[in-house]
Structure 1
Amino acid sequence: MSLDGSLGIRVNGEHRRVMGPLSVAEMLNELGLDPLRVAVERNLEIVPRGTLDSVCVEDGDDFEIVHFVGGG
C-alpha cells in the first residue's frame, strides 16, 4: 500500500491503482462492471461469486476478469 492509501493491482494485464480498502465487488463497481455478469480470477484462483463482497483487494493482486456475453 502506498502512502496515499492506494493499492497497486493488475486487471487483465493492465496496472492500476485503486483506493483501499475495498472488496472485489466494490472494485468491480468502480470499474463499471456488473458482478453478476463477470467471472473473477484473483492470483490464479477463481473467486466464488458468493464471496465477492467479503474478499478484500490487496496490494499486488493480479485479477483476470471475464465478461459473459449473450448471443446466438
Structure 2
Amino acid sequence: MKIEVNGKTLEVAATTLAALLNELDYDEGHVATALNRGFVRKTQRAQTKIKEGDAVEIVSPRQGG
C-alpha cells in the first residue's frame, strides 16, 4: 500500500505502525511517531493500524545544542 512517511510517498507491506518501523529498519525504542498528525505512544504502535493514504512521521532524537 502507498503511505506517506516523513513527507515521502512509499510503498509498504506493513499494516501496523510497529511493523512499519521494523520494515523501515528503525529502532522502535529510540523514535517518536505520529499517525495523521496524532502522537502515537510506543506502547500503542503494535495495535495502531495503518492504511492506504495515511501520513506517518518518524522522528529520531538529536543530541547537541
More helix by share: 2
% same residue: 34
Q: What is residue 47 of structure 2 aligned with on the other side?
A: 54
- Out of 3, 13, 37, the position equivalent to 2:7 is 13
Q: Which of these two proteins has the greater Rg computed from alpha carbons?
A: 1
State the Cα distance separating 1:71 from its structure 2 match.
Answer: 5.2
Unpaired segments ≥5 residues, structure 1: 1-6
Normalised by the length of structure 1, the TM-score is 0.80
Q: What is residue 38 of structure 2 aligned with on the other side?
A: 45
Q: What is residue 29 of structure 2 aligned with on the other side?
A: 36
Normalised by the length of structure 2, the TM-score is 0.88
Aligned length: 65
Counterpart residue type for residue 15 of structure 1: T
State the Cα distance separating 1:70 from its structure 2 match.
Answer: 4.1
Q: Distance in 2 between matches of 1:71 and 1:35?
A: 22
State the Cα distance separating 1:69 from its structure 2 match.
Answer: 3.1
